[in-house]
Amino acid sequence: MELTIAQALHQGVAAHKEGKIQEAEHLYREILKSQPLHPDANHNLGVLAVAVNKVEAALPLLKTALKANPETEQFWVSYIDALIKEKQFEEAKQLLDQAKTKNLEGEKLNALESQLDSRIQTISSANPSQEQLNSLLEHYQSGRYDDAEKLAISLTHEFPQHQFGWKALGVVLGQTGRKSEALEANQKAVALSDGDAEAHNNLGFALQELGRFDEAEASLRNAVRLKPGYAEAHNNLGNALKELSRFDEAEASYEQAFAVKPDFAEARYNLGIMLGELSRFDEAEASLRHAIALKPGYAEAHSNLGAILLEKGQHREGLAEIQIGDGIISFDLKTGLST
């Protein structure tokens, strides 16, 4: 005889209480075949999964149960407890706050709140080992970005309140072209350590990559305020200001970068590109030649120097420079704009 939903649930709960895990799981799953959103079956199956240390698998079941019947306090308790076990502390905190708005403040929820506060405090005081930090840096510096990303993510999970994992993750994601994800990681790094000039620079660069130049300027100004001698941040600020068509300020930022770091070839190059856009060809030529002198074999600088020389009518030398640089041109010969 086929069981009704109520009968299957009753038998499943009985088997569950008697420790007959497989039988209980089978009965709960049979219910879900008929009613995928059944709150009790989802909840109890999730509780079973937690009991056998399959907490990650339990989360969607417990979430479904709570969504289907948010008036049951135990559903809140089970889901929040699982989130804490999975170290998803922000989500757990949000759910606790939601429970309070529904006047669900029983002893179990209060105990979970105390447990969550304790876990967060413990993790806040924990730090990754020097070996973990060195390994992450080694992966990144060796160009092993997949390995660096995996380790950075694991650090953000294990030490969510420690800035280094987020900071490294932002850099790796930016390096691999995942701009939106990089932005989120860099924002988290700044939130955890607002006095870190490098974190503000990384955030500014990420914003710039997304075309959000006003916000990029604000972050980069924070970087140079915190560390006035930060050449890379001055250079990035120059790039942001150039995109905002504030050319005098951009030039001043590039000059500040040189003042701090006289051998900064990339900043000389960026200034040269901007001067070319402004049709200040003699100055652009000088700046690009300076960049090449500082960094022999600088392909982009050679090619763009060639474009500037063509603008000046020096065709033979211009074409030779473009050939040296393999034709990597940022300066548009027709419009005078960088491409």
DSSP character string of 52-69: TT-HHHHHHHHHHHHHH-
Residue 198 has pLDDT above 80, yes or no: yes
Q: Report which residue type is found at 29.
A: R
In a domain, 164, yes or no: no
**Bridge partner list, 338:** 331
Cβ(56)–Cβ(87) below 8 Å: no
**C-alpha R_g of the chain:** 29
- Shortest CA distance to 108 belongs to which of 82, 134, 135, 77? 77
Which residues lie across from 331 on neighbouring strands? 338
Examine residue 254 and state whether it is found in any structural domain, yes or no.
no
Kindly report the backbone phi and psi dihedral angles of residue 312, in degrees, each rounded to the nearest multiple of 5, phi listed first.
Answer: -85, 0
Instruction: Read off the pLDDT of each residue in 137-141 and give the average, rounded to a whole number.
Output: 90
* pLDDT band at 1; cut points 50, 70, 90: very low
Q: What is the mean pLDDT of residues 101-107?
A: 73
Cα separation, 206 vs 73, in Å, equals: 42
Q: What single-letter amino acid sits at 161?
A: Q
In angstroms, rounded to a whole number, what is the distance separating the alpha carbons of residues 19 and 100?
A: 33
Q: Among 96, 124, 152, where does a domain finish? A: 124
Is a pLDDT exceeding 50 seen at residue 123?
yes
- CATH number, domain containing residue 102: 1.25.40.10
Kindly state whether residue 92 falls inside one of the protein's structural domains: yes
User: Does the pLDDT value for residue 64 go beyond 80?
Assistant: yes
Tell me how long the chain is: 339
Residue 22 lies in a domain: yes
Domain for residue 173, yes or no?
no
Residue 36: phi and psi, rounded to 5, are -60, -25
* Block residue for tokens 């890379």: 232
Using one digit for the tens of pLDDT, what is the confidence trace for 305-329?
A: 999 999 999 999 989 888 887 755 5
pLDDT at position 125, please? Answer: 57
Once rounded to an integer, what is the mean pLDDT over residues 105-110? 74
Residue 179 scores a pLDDT above 50: yes
Considering the chain, what is the average pLDDT of its residues? Answer: 90
For residue 155, tell me if it sits in a domain: no
Query: Residue 30, exposed/middle/buried by CB under 10 A (0-12, 13-18, 19+)?
Result: middle
Which of 124, 152, 186 marks a domain boundary? 124
Q: Cβ(209)–Cβ(228) under 8 Å?
A: no
Rounded average pLDDT over 241-267: 97
Q: Encoding tokens for residue 57?
A: 């698998």
Residue 154 lies in a domain: no
Q: How far apart are CA 223 and CA 50, in angstroms?
A: 45
Task: Identify the domain boundary among 64, 96, 124.
Answer: 124
Into how many domains does the chain fold? 2
Domain region containing 272: 263-339
Q: Is residue 146 part of a domain?
A: no
